[in-house]
């Protein structure tokens, strides 16, 4: 991808409408292919990870142009290793970062600056954190949901999973619940969002990574009480009806009861009216 940026579009933007602002440039410290972004509504901040520089970057909510982050977590104490995705818990003031290579979840203070050690690490064989690639926090129900991809040498058909931990779990703690199995349709999980009032998680499931337009891609909705081989309660399925081809990102606009989906094969952002989950 030739040009990194964080572009902001009006909620009602439709078609080829230019962004209202964009963060980009040397001072912004961004790199290629940002795989997660979170908006902290309480503190009015934007959070992303730069995997190449092993950094968590925090911008002010109104950041525009070649604007530097207001805080950076980076350094030898951080243990950051190709940070790819993240989530922020503005209630308990924590940032969660999955570490695929380290098979662990790192938790940092939200206001951490510079070379800050994690305040908690979830790691160990009981956690089942193999290639933990995506996560989301429910600060109301104190839950942490971790998305795992399928294993190349694992089950057939290949199956990914959602592991549900308590938010404060640390060390070698097993997940409280696991959503996994053929009925789930999960091959791998990319970005997720939670809607705490309904206690649901909304997850982008883009299918096999090696396929440009995989079959079976969807955005699924599970209850955070689900456990085992449970199909999603609701599904938006990639295909001609939805227009989606490869959904990888998902965000919620509860006020307008919409789900916003980033589609990598369309190079597009789609908004679906989805009152059923709000």
| Using rule CB under 8 A, residue 184 touches another protein | no
| Using rule CB under 8 A, residue 161 touches another protein | no
Binding mask 42-81 for another protein (x = CB under 8 A): --x-x-x-xxxxxx-----xx---x-------xxxxxxxx
Whether the Cβ atoms of residue 223 and residue 200 lie closer than 8 Å to each other: yes
Whether the Cβ atoms of residue 77 and residue 116 lie closer than 8 Å to each other: yes
Site for another protein in 253-272 (CB under 8 A): 253, 255-258, 260-264, 266-272
Residue 106 Cβ, how far from another protein at the closest point, in Å?
10
Gap between the Cα atoms of 234 and 222, Å rounded: 7
**Torsions phi, psi of 108, nearest 5?**
-115, 155
Site for another protein in 216-255 (CB under 8 A): 221, 223, 233-237, 241-244, 248-253, 255
218: phi > 0 → left, psi -120 to 50 → alpha, else beta; which? beta
**Whose Cβ is closer to another protein: residue 86's or residue 163's?**
86
Binding mask 77-116 for another protein (x = CB under 8 A): xxxxxx--x-------------x-xx------------x-
Q: What tokens appear for 209 in the block? A: 């990574």
Q: What tokens appear for 99 in the block? A: 């570490």
Say which DSSP state 33 is in: -
Residue 20 Cβ, how far from another protein at the closest point, in Å?
6
**Whose Cβ is closer to another protein: residue 65's or residue 174's?**
65
**Torsions phi, psi of 41, nearest 5?**
-70, -30
């Amino acid at each position: 991808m030739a040009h990194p940026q964080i572009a902001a579009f009006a909620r009602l933007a439709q078609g080829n409408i230019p962004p209202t602002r964009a963060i980009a440039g040397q001072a912004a410290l961004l790199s290629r292919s940002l795989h997660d972004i979170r908006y902290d509504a309480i503190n009015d901040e934007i959070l992303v990870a730069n995997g190449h520089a092993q950094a968590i970057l925090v911008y002010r909510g109104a950041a525009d142009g070649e604007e530097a982050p207001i805080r950076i977590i980076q350094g030898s104490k951080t243990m950051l290793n190709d940070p790819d995705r993240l989530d922020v818990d503005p209630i308990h003031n924590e940032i969660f970062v999955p570490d695929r290579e380290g098979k662990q979840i790192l938790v940092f203070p939200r206001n951490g600056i510079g070379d800050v050690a994690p305040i908690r690490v979830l790691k160990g064989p009981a956690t089942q954190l193999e290639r933990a690639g995506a996560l989301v926090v429910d600060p109301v129900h104190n839950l942490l949901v971790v998305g795992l991809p399928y294993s190349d040498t694992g089950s057939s058909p290949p199956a990914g999973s959602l592991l549900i931990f308590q938010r404060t779990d640390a060390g070698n703690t097993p997940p409280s619940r696991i959503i996994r199995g053929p009925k789930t349709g999960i091959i791998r999980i990319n970005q997720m969002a939670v809607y705490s009032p309904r206690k649901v998680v909304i997850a982008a499931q883009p299918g096999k990574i090696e396929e440009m337009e995989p079959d079976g891609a969807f955005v699924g909705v599970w209850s955070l009480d689900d456990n085992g081989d449970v199909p999603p309660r609701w599904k938006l399925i990639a295909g001609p009806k939805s227009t989606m081809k490869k959904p990888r990102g998902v965000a919620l606009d509860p006020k307008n009861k919409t789900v916003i989906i980033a589609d990598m094969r369309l190079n597009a952002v789609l908004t679906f009216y989805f009152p059923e989950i709000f």
